[in-house]
Amino acid sequence: MAVLITGIGELTTNDAELGKLRDAAVVIDGEEVAWVGAAADAPDADERIDVEGRAVLPGWVDSHTHLVFAGDRTAEFEARMAGKAYSAGGIAVTVDATRSASDEQLAANLRRHVGEAARQGTTCLETKTGYGLNVEDEARSARIAADVADEVTFLGAHLVPPGADAESYVDLVCGDMLDAVAPLVRWADVFCETGAFDEAQSGRVLKAARERGLGLRVHGNQLGEGPGVRLAVELGAASVDHCTYLSEADVEALAASDTVATLLPACDLSTRQPLAPARRLLDAGATVALASNANPGSSYTTSMAFCVATAVLQMRMTIDEAVWAATAGGARALRRDDVGFVRPGARADLHVLEAPSTAHLAYRPGVPLTAAVWRRGKRLTSGFVSKW
Ligand SMILES: [Zn+2]
């Protein structure tokens, strides 16, 4: 059945030829966009919906979340806001709670957060393992994630479990753990940071994952300058995420590569770090994505609109740069071209704003501006999330 969405005041397509359209219309047929153009030229369809001048853009592509978890870290957050420093070690609290939770509890928690994201316009979401940190719980996390998320990443190398020897744990990650998880995921990731995994350990994990045919992602340069960005570029990772502290060599390496710099402004704020240097990256020619990093420790938000507003107001990205980074940029970081765009053949993932233009995402920060969401051609309803 074809649905015509017309009366679009401003349509962000992210397509180089179509650009940004005024007085536009979109036809959805099944799960895909079938037609895009001027409202006056729109073809007939089975159903017609007039959005009365509202802005429409692609659904958010949130390319970095950690939503297979249980437990709560409010106390750690309160302590941090009272002046205690953030360190990678807090992850261990979530690991204990996640291992103790049933499959049903983990799946329900994941669906609840994905539903929360979808109601705010997120239509494509990556999530990671990384709170199991043993073969059984990492494989279980990957299975639960694969049931719900668009993209699943193996992050067994999130933290050395308390009491374990780092080298022996890396052996386990590169061996039995990857064997168990690789068939369930598309990506592998490593937390290359002081307090987590060093350059040699990170390199071992990434190479072992690549040998099994997985795509690579890296958590790097979050808490200080380090080897994460360099390693990600050298190994051809699709994305290196955080990029809060970058040397000039890091910026130049990213600009000369296909590796996307995925910035996580909600995490920088929640850990009271400086915001990542978006302007330096963009001015050098690097590809920038924005993602939520939704997780219970360092960034407990699913709001991509908050990330976009922060990127514009505080990181000096333009409205168009920030919206692109949170849609097509996320898609690039996931090596996809079926999402993040509104053009014929793209997945019918549409986000209608309660506003006449995307500028309002930063002009009216904190205001819930999501008026309607389509994912795979289906309009979000209260029952939508159970189908994810
Ligand atoms: Zn992360």
CATH number for position 27: 2.30.40.10
Cα 216 from Cα 206, distance rounded (Å): 7
| CA nearest neighbour of 326 among 129, 19, 345, 334 | 334
Same domain as 93, residue 9: no
158 is in an annotated binding site: yes
Cα 217 from Cα 203, distance rounded (Å): 12
Write down the pLDDT at residue 175: 98
| CA nearest neighbour of 322 among 380, 365, 354, 356 | 365
Write down the pLDDT at residue 87: 76
Same domain as 361, residue 301: no
Same domain as 345, residue 299: no
Same domain as 32, residue 64: no
With 0.85 as the threshold, say if the pTM is over it: yes
131 is in an annotated binding site: yes
Query: Which helix (H) or strand (E) element contains residue 375?
Result: strand 370-375
- The total of other beta-carbon atoms located within 10 Å of residue 31's CB is 14
Q: Measured between alpha carbons, how far is residue 185 from residues 152, 167, 181 in Å?
A: 5, 24, 7
Same domain as 80, residue 14: no
Distance 36 CA to ligand 1 centre (A): 35
- Give me the domain span that covers residue 144: 60-334
Q: What is the pLDDT along the chain (388 residues), one digit of tens a residue?
A: 899 999 999 999 999 999 999 999 999 999 999 999 999 999 999 999 999 999 999 999 999 999 999 999 999 999 999 998 887 678 889 999 999 999 999 999 999 999 999 999 999 999 999 999 999 999 999 999 999 999 999 999 999 998 999 999 999 999 999 999 999 999 999 999 998 999 999 999 999 999 999 999 999 999 999 999 999 999 999 999 999 999 999 999 999 999 999 999 999 999 999 999 999 999 999 999 999 999 999 999 999 999 999 999 999 999 999 999 999 999 999 999 999 999 999 999 999 999 999 999 999 999 999 999 999 999 997 544 444 4
Same domain as 218, residue 78: yes
134 is in an annotated binding site: no
Same domain as 325, residue 260: yes
Same domain as 269, residue 156: yes
- 386: left (phi > 0), else alpha (psi -120 to 50), else beta? alpha
Cα 261 from Cα 291, distance rounded (Å): 10
Same domain as 155, residue 50: no
295 is in an annotated binding site: yes
Same domain as 180, residue 44: no
Q: Measured between alpha carbons, how far is residue 249 from residues 229, 253, 262, 281 in Å?
A: 10, 6, 17, 11
Write down the pLDDT at residue 388: 45
Same domain as 121, residue 17: no
Same domain as 263, residue 166: yes
In a domain, 386, yes or no: no
In a domain, 387, yes or no: no
